[in-house]
């Protein structure tokens, strides 16, 4: 993620907005049938990816006085 952020800054001279538009889920089934591995995958894509992008982008945004994060969530079917 840091590479994408740096490439954007280097190409355009700044970073104003980050759009986090990725998400996944497991197949629709009773919660007690969801495995820990399935849960970990959903968490990694839907939550931890935002954490990693913030770590990459926030220092650049802070250095120029601000920026915007737009997090798009879709609940699935």
Which pLDDT does position 76 carry in this prediction?
57
The per-residue pLDDT for range 13-66, each reduced to its tens digit, is: 999 999 999 888 888 999 999 999 999 999 999 999 999 999 999 999 999 999
CA gap 62, 35 in Å, rounded? 39
26 and 42 in contact (C-beta within 8 Å)?
yes
Which pLDDT does position 64 carry in this prediction?
92
Which pLDDT does position 77 carry in this prediction?
53
Which pLDDT does position 12 carry in this prediction?
94
Which pLDDT does position 1 carry in this prediction?
85
- State the pTM of this model: 0.79
């Amino acid at each position: 993620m840091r590479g994408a952020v740096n490439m954007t800054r280097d190409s355009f001279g700044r970073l104003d907005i980050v759009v986090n538009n990725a998400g996944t889920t497991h197949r629709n089934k009773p919660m007690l049938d969801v495995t820990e591995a399935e849960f970990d995958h959903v968490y990694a894509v839907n939550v931890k990816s935002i954490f990693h992008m913030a770590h990459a982008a926030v220092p650049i945004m802070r250095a120029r006085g601000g920026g915007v994060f737009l997090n798009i969530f879709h609940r699935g079917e």
